[in-house]
Homo-oligomer: A and B are copies of this chain.
């Protein structure tokens, strides 16, 4: 059970922006250098962040990306959602009539996984990007 690197890098990159943006756009090149993340990979990630209105872009020289919301308002859940990283612990199909393992009734563990989902997602809902920056021991 683990978060994928795309999600981790997204949170990392946005935290980097929160720290280094001084009302100016932050280029992916700079984030790449500071955080040690492949530039090409960052491009792919920011494409999705932009589509989901987490960041907006400024093209051309001195361009880069800008956070749409302030770090205080940006929920971690918003970031994960942008990368399709819903916490989906259960394998039981929710959409179809048949619910779990092809049976017509909910499986014995169904409610448990639902609870887990709620537990984890509420964690991400309640965390803001700014929370990551508090008590930072090291400067990136």
Contacts and interface: CB of A to CB of B under 8 A. Distances in A.
Interface of A: 1-5, 7-8, 11-12, 15-16, 19, 35-37, 76, 85-91, 101-103, 105-109, 111-113, 116, 119-120, 123, 127, 131-133, 135-138, 140
Contacts of A113: 3, 8
20 contacts: A1-B7, A1-B86, A1-B87, A1-B88, A1-B120, A2-B88, A2-B89, A3-B113, A8-B89, A16-B108, A36-B102, A106-B138, A108-B138, A108-B140, A111-B132, A111-B135, A111-B136, A112-B127, A112-B132, A116-B123
A3 B89 contact: yes
